[in-house]
Amino acid sequence: MSPTEIHQLNFGPITAHAFNKDRTQVAVCPNNNEVQIYTKAGKGWNLIHTLAEVRIDWAPESNRLVTSSQDRNTYVWNFEPETNEWKPTLVLLRINRAATFVRWSPLENKFAVASGARVIAVCYFDEEHNWWTSKHLKNPIRSTVLSLDWHPNNVLLAAGSADFKARVFSAFIKGGVDQKPPPTAWGDKLPFNTICGEFSNGSGGWIHSVAFSPSGDALAFSGHDSAISIAYPGGAIQSVRLTSLPYLSLIWTSEKNIIAAGYDFTPVLFENTNEGW
């Protein structure tokens, strides 16, 4: 295991961040309407660019940034080495409330934007019109969508929202954007907006984070009631109820291990043993 590196960027809260592929650059939002891009320099980090947005994801293979903000706008940024600048392209979102979360798909040919409009905009590049456009996942969302995660097959999309539900949708885009994926545990017929799963932890609390397992055969989600839940296709679900403050972020390190972090300032490892989580 490589040694732990700790770096201080010397300003206040960071509301969003994303690394590039080799972790030599990081984009951060310093609790305002800007995105600052830092590059690693020796033992420190130097600021090299400033963009104007608040939610970030960095596509590792194409090296494109996608940013979204509370003004309902989303941009795809492409780096141009000739001018050493990031050039934005506006995305046609068609939402009337703030964007709350953004995430590239595994193949980086589309991305999803969560919003306060009770919809998820699934965005893809329209070659004919030369712009980024979107289709909306709507029903049965009843409140603001707070988090997203893509299934490894590039089609299924998990969403957690303030209506206390975690859901798995099909975000299949016809017309050459997506190829029909092989059958999964979540189903094999996957037209756009198919609901492949809907879960609640039973005690309420809006859903802060959702995360598919590496295989995509399980979904973890954390709620504001300080519970971590693991759901499986077919409806099986197990919740671990805690006395700590709520967890805001989940990451699977293997099919049997999840790391959670939140308001308690300390990451926690959850393990699936023979007796469950």
pLDDT digits (tens, 9 = 90+) for 64-97: 999 988 878 898 999 999 999 989 898 999 999 9
User: In what helix (H) or strand (E) does residue 243 lie, and over which residues does it extend?
Assistant: none
How many whole angstroms separate alpha carbon 242 and alpha carbon 227?
A: 6
State which residues of the chain have pLDDT below 70.
Answer: 1-2, 10-11, 48-49, 51-54
Under a CB-based contact definition with an 8 Å cutoff, are residues 105 and 144 in contact? no
Q: What is the pLDDT of residue 39?
A: 84
Domains of the chain, start order: 1-54+64-88 (no CATH), 91-271 (2.130.10.10)
How many whole angstroms separate alpha carbon 277 and alpha carbon 275?
A: 7
Under a CB-based contact definition with an 8 Å cutoff, are residues 161 and 146 in contact? yes
Q: What is the pLDDT of residue 48?
A: 62
Structure tokens at 205: 């609390």
Structure tokens at 139: 């029903």
How many whole angstroms separate alpha carbon 102 and alpha carbon 82?
A: 28
Count CA within 13 A, CB hemisphere, residue 265.
Answer: 0
Structure tokens at 148: 């997203």
Cα angle 118, 58, 112; round to 5: 20
Residue type at 29?
Answer: C
Structure tokens at 33: 């309407």
Nearest to 56, CA basis, from 41, 37, 81: 37
Residue 70 β-bridge partners: none
Relative to beta strand 74-80, strand 85-90 is antiparallel
Q: What is the pLDDT of residue 128?
A: 84
How many whole angstroms separate alpha carbon 111 and alpha carbon 102?
A: 7
Tabulate helix, strand, coil % of the chain (nearest 5): 0, 50, 50
How many whole angstroms separate alpha carbon 12 and alpha carbon 35?
A: 14
Structure tokens at 55: 């939610």
- For the segment 172-218, what is each residue's pLDDT rounded down to a tens digit? 999 889 998 899 999 988 999 999 999 997 778 899 999 999 999 99
Under a CB-based contact definition with an 8 Å cutoff, are residues 262 and 222 in contact? yes
What are the C-alpha distances in Å from 92 to residues 7, 64, 74, 138, 173? 37, 17, 8, 17, 16
Under a CB-based contact definition with an 8 Å cutoff, are residues 256 and 272 in contact? yes
